[in-house]
């Protein structure tokens, strides 16, 4: 339980001292001066001033952990969607107000300075943002932890709309360097690729020697991660790839300047770009190399640190090191650790395997079959010949020693459980490899973890019932409330104490005010002020005028059919149609706000964006509807935009087909900031409804069992199309030129998909969704009831603190304790 002593960070210096430090850095670190400095230079100077504390924290934390021989966790993730770091670091160090005042004294607005920082978008969506929240929580809980990932030169693409269509532009997050990262050339690693494996017989002993055909250098960049209160500062270590020898001098000297350079260019492509896929498979050789590159460099780094502290005896390796696989992307780390132990450290297979299994655990983030990674055996064999041998050995021992005794002679089960999928081309199932090579597998919300057992790995669950557990996702309340919603934070601080950003259960203290008229007014005034701020953002980004009187109805997430942005679209069109038919149609004005990027190769997702933009254009300029509806699609949705929008949201759209959204985390951020969820019984929505109470969320639609029943019965979308007059009318609209004057059929793909196949059952949920929206409308028109529901949401979300998620991982999976760094 919460300690009595306040954990709220206290500033280590005054505004005056901070100001002096900023000016000093402006002159001596940036080489400029007050009259000349741009906001960007000021931002760098502030970062340098903050870094004095951050770097000190990094060294204190390292020293403590090394000295205490602490068990550490290594969080392996191909994605870390960090966003901006300045405001979070200031908040966690307790320096925000100090910095605000210091900048005021320099005639600067902190908001303008914060805006200068580019988002660090080294991730696609939920999975990457979860990793970012988790490393914040690990630092806050004083857990010795390193996040490992790739130092992409270009993060997720910048999205523009050209005539309503998504256009992708390269992201340049470190065009001018990033003040937050420290290069650590002394810890670089060599990563091997391609080549062949030699079998060596020596005095009756067989060993394998991998002769790689290429090597890469992995250069680590450390991003300090400041825990709340600033006591522990962990690092996120991101690997950049470089050619092993910058130039091949021999080639260079013999006149091959371009050839010599070509190799380094090729090597650098490994950390050049983030794959912009999300829930879809990217079957590319470069992606496999990325996965191996960062896994191998990270394992080598962990080994190096272990040996520096404990010498060459690896006996305690698994006791001191946990490794968490964030989805299957780093699964190749399993055979890599085996390779290191068996080939390089001379371990017997069984001992190495026991250590490997004791080290790894794996988080599954999706059940969508197209997102479950598989690699062609031939490809792995080419790029990582020794690993392919090891995977086959793991598989054969697994099938003969574990599967066979449980199901003797059952080849069907063996075929299902084999890491190798047979077929025209043999494929390696990375999910199977991860589950077999880990001691624990977790899903990310209760329902999802149940489905992992029931639908994805039922036999593995029967084989190892203890292996499968749930850890419901969470979000850091520091970023997603304290930093992004200062008005609400101040109000909360007035009524409960200041420790809520660490102990979110303290917000329960707000429940007693849920019916208090004065508190309701204050709470809704905060929402109102946030909305007024956001009205300006909408105007700036889309040139659409909206009113803060309207309901702000928000759907922000990657664009994917299963998330059903098109269900939202159909309902918007239906509302529009109702008003056209009956201009007095009774509804409170609504602004529908979308933010979503589509994977560049995902055609239908891009068509849905285009359709929403076209419908928006028409509705927003139609004076007949009296501004009852506005639709805005915000371009380039990202962490920093979410931070502005979430505090201004009234309604949270969480409308995935039941069983498809593993958890969702935007649902948690929105509910914490007082938006009312309209959602299906899917992912963490179910747990949000449990915590906030069913009366304070609006649940609609089919549940998982209904979906299965409909599928079994034989789902025919055309029936729903024919039998619902409104649905039919709006779908037909998409076919003509109503929204694309003079160019009929531009939006037809969306209709055809829905009427002909509708893989995510949009049509059967339409009516229930439309009714649910009526409930939202009625609730909003009862301001006291609305305020009450919103307050109860804010007050009830403690479970979704990522500190709780991390404590669960620490207690049930990693078996690790926090080790607070020594104070100065
Ligand atoms: C996503 C799920 C979300 C979940 C996040 C974080 C992938 C593969 N999965 O529902 O779709 O919230 O992971 O767990 O990105």
pLDDT digits (tens, 9 = 90+) for 667-694: 999 999 999 999 999 999 999 999 999 9
Range 57-75 average pLDDT: 92
Q: How far apart are CA 621 and CA 629, in angstroms?
A: 10
Q: Is the CB of 506 under 6 A from ligand 1?
A: no
677 is catalytic: no
What pLDDT is attached to residue 251?
60
Q: Does position 1 have pLDDT exceeding 80, yes or no? A: no
CA 473 to ligand 1 center in whole angstroms? 9
Range 180-208 average pLDDT: 95
Q: Does position 41 have pLDDT exceeding 90, yes or no? A: yes
User: For the purposes of burial, counting CB atoms within 10 Å of the CB of 182, is it exposed (0-12), middle (13-18) or buried (19 or more)?
Assistant: middle
Task: Report how many helices (DSSP H) and strands (DSSP E) the chain contains, helices first.
Answer: 34, 25
Atom of ligand 1 nearest to the CA of 664: 12
What pLDDT is attached to residue 279?
67
Q: Are 637 and 159 in contact (CB under 8 A)?
A: yes
3-state secondary structure of 709: helix
HEC string of 628-691 equals CEEEEEECCCCHHHHHHHHHHCCEEEECCCCCCCCCCCHHHHHHHCCCEEEECCCCCHHHHHHH
439 is catalytic: no
Q: How far apart are CA 600 and CA 91, in angstroms?
A: 36
CA 450 to ligand 1 center in whole angstroms? 15
Within a 10 A sphere around the Cβ of 497, how many other Cβ atoms? 13
With a pLDDT cut of 90, the percent of the chain lying above it is: 91
What pLDDT is attached to residue 115?
95
665 is catalytic: yes
With a pLDDT cut of 70, the percent of the chain lying above it is: 96
Pocket test for ligand 1, best of 367, 371, 662 (most atoms within 8 A of CB): 662
Q: Are 19 and 98 in contact (CB under 8 A)?
A: no
Q: Does position 255 have pLDDT exceeding 90, yes or no? A: no
List 65, 365, 564, 566, catalytic entry: 365
What pLDDT is attached to residue 469?
98
Q: How far apart are CA 187 and CA 300, in angstroms?
A: 10
pLDDT in tens, 744-803: 999 999 999 999 999 999 999 999 999 999 999 999 999 999 999 999 999 999 999 999
Which residue reads 């019932």 in tokens? 465
CA 448 to ligand 1 center in whole angstroms? 10
Q: Is the CB of 661 under 6 A from ligand 1?
A: yes
Which residue reads 């624990």 in tokens? 440
Is the pTM higher than 0.95? The answer reads: yes
> 750: part of which helix (H) or strand (E)?
helix 748-752
Given pLDDT bands bounded at 50, 70 and 90, which one contains residue 176?
confident
Which residue reads 């650790």 in tokens? 337
Q: Are 739 and 747 in contact (CB under 8 A)?
A: yes
Instruction: Report CA dihedral (454, 456, 457, 462) to the nearest 10 degrees.
Output: 10
Q: How far apart are CA 89 and CA 94, in angstroms?
A: 8
- Mean residue pLDDT of the chain comes to 95
Q: Is the CB of 663 under 6 A from ligand 1?
A: yes
> 147: part of which helix (H) or strand (E)?
strand 145-150
237 is catalytic: no
Atom of ligand 1 nearest to the CA of 278: 15
What pLDDT is attached to residue 249?
58
| Residue 243 CA from chain centroid, whole number | 30
Q: Is the CB of 520 under 6 A from ligand 1?
A: no
Given pLDDT bands bounded at 50, 70 and 90, which one contains residue 260?
low
List 174, 669, 751, 788, catalytic entry: 669
Q: Are 729 and 580 in contact (CB under 8 A)?
A: no
Q: Nearest Cα to 178, choosing from 151, 203, 160, 205? A: 151
CA 327 to ligand 1 center in whole angstroms? 9
Helices 517-542 and 783-795, interaxial angle, to 10°?
90
Q: How far apart are CA 721 and CA 766, in angstroms?
A: 10
């Amino acid at each position: 339980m919460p300690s009595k002593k306040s954990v709220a960070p206290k500033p280590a210096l005054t505004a005056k001292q901070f100001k002096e430090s900023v000016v000093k850095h402006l002159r001596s670190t940036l080489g400029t001066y007050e009259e000349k400095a741009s906001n960007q230079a000021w931002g760098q100077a502030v970062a340098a001033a903050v870094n004095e504390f951050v770097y000190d924290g990094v060294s204190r934390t390292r020293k403590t952990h090394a000295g205490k021989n602490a068990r550490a966790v290594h969080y392996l993730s191909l994605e870390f969607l960090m966003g901006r770091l300045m405001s979070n670091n200031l908040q966690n160090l307790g320096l925000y107000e100090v910095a605000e005042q210091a900048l005021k004294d320099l005639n600067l607005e902190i908001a303008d300075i914060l805006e200068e920082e580019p988002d660090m978008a080294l991730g696609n969506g939920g999975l990457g943002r979860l990793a970012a929240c988790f490393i914040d929580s690990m630092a806050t809980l004083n857990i010795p932890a390193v996040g490992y990932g790739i130092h992409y030169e270009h993060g997720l693409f910048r999205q523009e709309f050209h005539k309503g269509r998504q256009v992708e532009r390269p992201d340049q997050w470190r065009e001018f360097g990033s003040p937050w990262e420290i290069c650590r050339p002394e810890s670089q690693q060599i990563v091997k690729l391609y080549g062949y494996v030699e079998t060596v017989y020596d005095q009756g002993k067989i060993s394998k020697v991998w002769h790689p055909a290429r090597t890469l250098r992995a250069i680590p960049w450390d991003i300090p991660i400041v825990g709340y209160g600033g006591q522990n500062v962990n690092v996120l270590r991101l690997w950049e790839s470089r050619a092993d020898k910058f130039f091949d001098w021999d080639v260079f000297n013999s006149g091959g300047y371009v050839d010599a350079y070509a190799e380094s260019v090729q090597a650098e492509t490994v950390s050049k770009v983030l794959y912009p896929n999300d829930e879809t498979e990217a079957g590319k050789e470069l992606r496999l190399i990325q996965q191996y590159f960062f896994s191998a460099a990270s394992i080598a780094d962990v080994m190096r640190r272990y040996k520096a502290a404990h010498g060459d005896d690896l006996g305690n390796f698994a006791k001191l090191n946990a490794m968490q696989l964030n989805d299957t992307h780093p699964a190749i780390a399993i055979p890599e650790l085996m390779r290191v132990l068996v080939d390089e450290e001379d371990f017997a297979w069984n001992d190495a395997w026991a250590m490997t299994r004791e080290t790894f655990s794996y988080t599954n983030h999706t059940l969508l079959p197209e997102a479950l990674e598989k690699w062609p055996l031939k490809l792995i064999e080419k790029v990582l010949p020794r690993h392919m041998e090891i995977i086959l050995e793991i598989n054969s021992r697994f099938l003969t020693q574990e599967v066979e005794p449980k199901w003797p002679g059952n080849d069907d089960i063996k075929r299902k459980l084999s890491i190798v999928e047979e077929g025209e081309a043999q494929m390696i199932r990375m999910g199977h490899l991860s589950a077999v090579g880990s001691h624990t597998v977790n899903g990310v919300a209760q329902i999802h973890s149940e489905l992992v057992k029931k639908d994805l790995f039922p036999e593995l669950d029967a084989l190892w019932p203890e292996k499968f557990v749930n850890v419901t996702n969470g979000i850091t309340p520091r970023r997603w409330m304290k930093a992004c919603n200062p008005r609400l934070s101040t109000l909360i601080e007035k009524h409960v104490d200041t420790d809520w950003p660490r102990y979110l259960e303290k917000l329960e203290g707000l429940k007693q005010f849920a019916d208090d008229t004065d508190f309701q007014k204050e709470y809704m005034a905060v929402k109102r002020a946030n909305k007024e701020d956001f009205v300006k953002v909408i105007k700036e980004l889309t040139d659409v005028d909206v009113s803060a009187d309207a309901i702000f109805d928000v759907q922000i997430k990657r664009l994917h059919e299963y998330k059903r942005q098109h269900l939202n679209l159909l309902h918007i069109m239906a509302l529009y149609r109702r008003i056209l038919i009956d201009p007095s149609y009774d509804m409170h004005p609504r602004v529908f706000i979308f933010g979503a990027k589509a994977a560049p190769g995902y055609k239908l997702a891009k068509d849905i964006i285009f359709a929403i933009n076209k419908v928006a254009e028409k509705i927003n300029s139609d004076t007949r509807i009296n501004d009852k509806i506005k639709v805005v699609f915000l371009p380039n949705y990202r962490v920093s935009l979410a931070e502005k929008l979430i505090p201004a949201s009234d309604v949270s759209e969480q409308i995935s087909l039941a069983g498809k959204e593993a958890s969702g985390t935007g649902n948690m951020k929105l509910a914490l900031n007082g938006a009312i969820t309209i959602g299906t019984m899917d992912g963490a929505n179910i747990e949000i409804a449990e915590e906030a109470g069913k009366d304070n969320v609006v649940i609609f639609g089919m549940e998982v069992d209904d979906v299965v029943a409909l599928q079994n019965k034989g789902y025919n979308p055309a029936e729903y199309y024919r039998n619902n007059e409104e649905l039919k009318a709006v779908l037909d609209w998409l076919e003509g030129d109503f929204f694309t004057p003079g160019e009929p059929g531009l939006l037809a793909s969306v209709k055809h998909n829905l009427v002909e196949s509708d893989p995510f059952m949009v049509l059967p949920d339409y009516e229930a969704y439309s009714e649910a929206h009526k409930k939202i409308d009625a609730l909003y028109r009862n301001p006291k009831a609305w305020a009450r529901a919103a307050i109860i949401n804010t007050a009830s979300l403690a479970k979704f603190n990522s500190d709780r998620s991390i404590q669960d991982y620490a207690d049930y999976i990693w078996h690790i304790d926090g080790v607070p760094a020594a104070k100065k």
